């Protein structure tokens, strides 16, 4: 069963305390706090995505320059004020503010 987050609606319309309720999808959303009877509304929460798409996993994958190169990505790392060095992929080895690149430089 999913866990839903609800928040109390204050008399001035502002959101109040939040709490969680485990309830079946088939049940309607709560309209009153189960203990105090205060009016509540369901809070939409972002979906949790774990596994290989987690932030820590993506950070590790972005650090693997050989893998990025093999997958066809180009990675530049800032090495100074307006200076970027290529670490993986196609394109010029160095991009600077003084010598901007064009589309043909990336092929």
pLDDT one-digit tens code per residue, 45-99: 887 666 566 666 666 666 788 888 888 888 889 988 889 999 888 888 888 888 7
Structure tokens, 47: 């979906």
Whether residue 19 contacts residue 5, with contact meaning beta carbons closer than 8 Å, is answered with yes
What is the value of pTM for the model shown? Answer: 0.45
């Amino acid at each position: 069963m999913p866990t839903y987050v609800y928040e109390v609606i204050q008399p001035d319309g502002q959101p109040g305390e939040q709490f969680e309720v485990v309830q079946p999808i088939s049940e309607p959303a709560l309209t009153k706090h189960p203990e105090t009877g205060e009016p509540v509304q369901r809070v939409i929460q972002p979906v949790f995505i774990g596994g290989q798409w987690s932030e820590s996993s993506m950070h590790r994958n972005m650090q693997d320059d050989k893998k990025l190169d093999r997958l066809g990505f180009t990675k530049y790392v800032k090495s100074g004020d307006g200076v970027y060095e290529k670490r993986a992929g196609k394109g010029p080895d160095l991009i600077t503010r003084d010598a901007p690149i064009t589309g043909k430089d990336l092929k």
